[in-house]
């Protein structure tokens, strides 16, 4: 039998190319949520207790195409989203632009690295903190953290100097 680490259930709001949905990701207790989203030798994210918010049907299991995910919003009480910042980390305020709107927040990165250089090296999911999600219909949501999929972004802008 294959080894299966002890896991925790993290129920997230997820914006996909098909709209908003909600589902539970099962993350190894010793792992960070963003690592679980970025890791894997398959293109699918496995979720339980899943539903699209526009439909009233719950699915016990749903395999979600990883590249079809634009945003993942974990619950505010989730503490294992990303590793603690390094001692020399700085925070930069950025706006990530998507076809549906923008996500404004702070990204942590190594001191001495330009924001543009940091983002050029990202090829998957990145955590923003202290976020505002503003959709095209002017709906705005404040979130402690939002995990953005760089493959779904149109672009990004730095809003101020790193601090």
CATH number of the domain that residue 94 is part of: 2.30.30.100
Average pLDDT of 114-141?
A: 91
pTM of the model: 0.92
CA angle centred on 17, ends 128 and 136, rounded to 5°: 65
Q: What is the mean pLDDT of the chain?
A: 91
H helical segments located in 39-135: 115-120
pLDDT above 80: residue 77:
yes
Q: Which H helix or E strand runs over 38? A: helix 33-38
Domain assignment of residue 124, given as a range: 89-158
> 68 and 127: one domain?
no
Domain-located, residue 83: no
Strands in the chain per DSSP E: 7-16, 19-28, 44-52, 59-65, 69-73, 89-98, 101-110, 125-135, 140-149, 155-158
Q: Please report where in the chains the tokens 């250089």 appear, as a residue.
A: 117
């Amino acid at each position: 039998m294959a080894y299966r680490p002890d896991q925790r259930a993290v129920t997230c709001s997820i914006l996909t190319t098909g709209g908003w949905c909600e589902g539970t990701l099962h993350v190894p207790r010793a792992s960070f949520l963003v690592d679980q989203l970025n890791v894997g030798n398959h293109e699918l994210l496995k979720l339980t207790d899943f539903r699209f918010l526009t439909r009233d049907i719950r699915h016990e299991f749903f395999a979600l195409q990883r590249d079809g995910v634009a945003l993942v919003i974990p619950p505010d009480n989730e503490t294992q989203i990303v590793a603690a910042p390094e001692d020399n980390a700085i925070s930069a305020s950025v706006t990530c632009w998507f076809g549906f709107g923008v996500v404004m927040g702070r990204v942590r990165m190594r001191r001495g690295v330009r924001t543009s250089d940091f983002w050029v090296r990202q090829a998957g999911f990145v955590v923003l903190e202290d976020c505002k999600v503003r959709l095209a219909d002017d709906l705005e949501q404040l979130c402690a953290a939002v995990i953005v999929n760089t493959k779904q972004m149109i672009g990004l802008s730095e809003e101020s100097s790193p601090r």
